[in-house]
Amino acid sequence: MAVYVLVMMKINDPETYSKYTARTPEIVKRHGGKFLTRGEEVLTFEGTPYDDRLVILEFPDKESVDGWYNDPEYQEAVKFRKASSHMNMLLVQEGGSNTKNPDPKL
């Protein structure tokens, strides 16, 4: 079952951040992941306009996400990301049980 990683970030130092983005595609691929979007323009239909960076990745399963995130080479690249940006990373699994008849209290 596919797992999606959504990353929303504010980049403070583009030059340092580019050292992170130069390293990540091969590591993502090695763990069965792929980028669905990687910093393209985001249009806001409702709410506060979002003009920061958005990245969405797809992995075949949670184990692949864990392998990618815990990969020593990725953790080395993360140092550049942490030095140059502030971010939120979310993980969502496809096919949750709350899609056909969602509980309105959730």
Report pLDDT for 105.
66
pTM given for the model:
0.85
pLDDT in tens, 29-51: 999 999 999 999 999 999 999 99
pLDDT confidence bin for 57, thresholds 50/70/90: very high
Sheet strands side by side (includes 85-93): 34-38, 53-59, 3-11, 85-93
Q: Are 84 and 12 in contact (CB under 8 A)?
A: yes
Give the span between the Cα atoms of 26 and 100, in whole angstroms.
Answer: 36
CATH 3.30.70.100 assigned to domain 3-42+50-93? The reply is yes
> Tokens 């709410």 correspond to what residue?
47
Residues in the chain: 106
The mean pLDDT value for 86-96 works out to 88
